[in-house]
Amino acid sequence: MKVLILSFSNNQVNEDSFIPNKIGLTFSCVEECEKALKSLGKEVEHICINRKNIKKCLACGKRGWGICLNEHICIQKDDFNEIYKYMENFDAYVFITPVYFHEMSESAKTFFDRLKRCDAFNENSKIKGKKIVCIACAGGSGSGTEETLKAFDTLNYFLGTEMYARIPVTKANFAKQKEVIDNAMQIKEN
Ligand SMILES: Cc1cc2nc3c(=O)[nH]c(=O)nc-3n(C[C@H](O)[C@H](O)[C@H](O)COP(=O)(O)O)c2cc1C
């Protein structure tokens, strides 16, 4: 089984960040997922979306729909189409985002805006029906993790995926939540 982790934090490439965790909580969760998946004999790949060139949706075309509606690709020439196509090769997905202002990060919103447009009405979608695990990484208070996970519920609805686990993580509960993350990596393909 092949699992793709998509992460949405800049922190590992910005070690001067004020956040007092060298690789950041998002990357710590990526590492935990990779470790757990490998120990279960699953293949895993990780793409940090922040390191890719993904522009905002232009809402181009008539009535707010571009070629994404019928051709299921985006008209913009950046890294999006390649990643969207690449997602077909995997049996399940893990999405890991920091919580910013009670929401998923900017790179997550930008990526999922375009994924929804290309895939939500794609009858030949290779993403629909596959399981997703969603992890929201917050600061001390943890406020906003539930709103972030609710946004993933909405994404799950429009993508027609199957929510396998939704996991709130903070720096304070990370040690405890590792067990929850490890259990969620037992994810099986449909
Ligand atoms: C712009 C910004 C907004 C944030 N908003 C929230 C928030 O609403 N709730 C919260 O608990 N933490 C918030 N945080 C803290 C981050 O969620 C936390 O530091 C998290 O660990 C960031 O992920 P990272 O370690 O992968 O960078 C915010 C941080 C930043 C930089």
Give the mutation target among 19, 46, 170, 173 for probing the ligand 1 site: most ligand atoms within 8 A of CB: 19
d(CA 175, CA 164): 21
CATH number for the domain whose boundaries are 2-184:
3.40.50.360
pLDDT band at 145 (very low <50, low <70, confident <90, very high): very high
Calculate the dihedral angle through the C-alpha atoms of 96, 98, 103, 109, rounding to the nearest 10 degrees. Answer: -60
Taking CA atoms only, the protein residue closest to ligand 1 atom 15 is 139
| Residue 139 CB–ligand 1 contact under 6 Å | yes
pLDDT confidence of residue 18: 47
In angstroms, what is the span from residue 188 Cα to ligand 1's centroid?
A: 31
pLDDT band at 22 (very low <50, low <70, confident <90, very high): low
User: Is residue 21 pLDDT above 70, yes or no?
Assistant: no
Question: What are the φ and ψ backbone dihedral angles of 9, each rounded to 5 degrees?
Answer: -125, 150
User: Is residue 64 pLDDT above 70, yes or no?
Assistant: yes
Read off the pTM: 0.95
pLDDT digits (tens, 9 = 90+) for 103-118: 999 999 999 999 999 9
User: What is the domain partition of the chain in residue ranges?
Assistant: 2-184
